[in-house]
Structure 1
């Protein structure tokens, strides 16, 4: 788990998904399904999460804004 201000990011190794929580940590948004052994986030930029993946580094700045279907 990685805290970033009022946000909390977590990797669930059981489902291989990154999750993000806000709003008092009562609601979780399921993120990408990818092997992510390490996460980094900062209170200075709580919308940004850096994730170590098999092929290198992935940066996301839209975890709370899912792509349109």
Structure 2
């Protein structure tokens, strides 16, 4: 999924959640292995773990429905 698919046009105006520090970063600042994102807003980045869990559940539900 591209940044454009997420509604993000300028990668400098993205927010990332650093899983190592637990902090939100403006623009990609840390190693990719330590980042979740990009997110369009700081608020979304602050909810990164919750958003990831919601998406994982939706994907698992989709897979279960296909079986």
Question: TM-score under structure 1 normalisation?
Answer: 0.28
Question: TM-score under structure 2 normalisation?
Answer: 0.28
Structure whose residues are more often helix by fraction: 2
Q: Over alpha carbons, which structure has the higher Rg?
A: 2
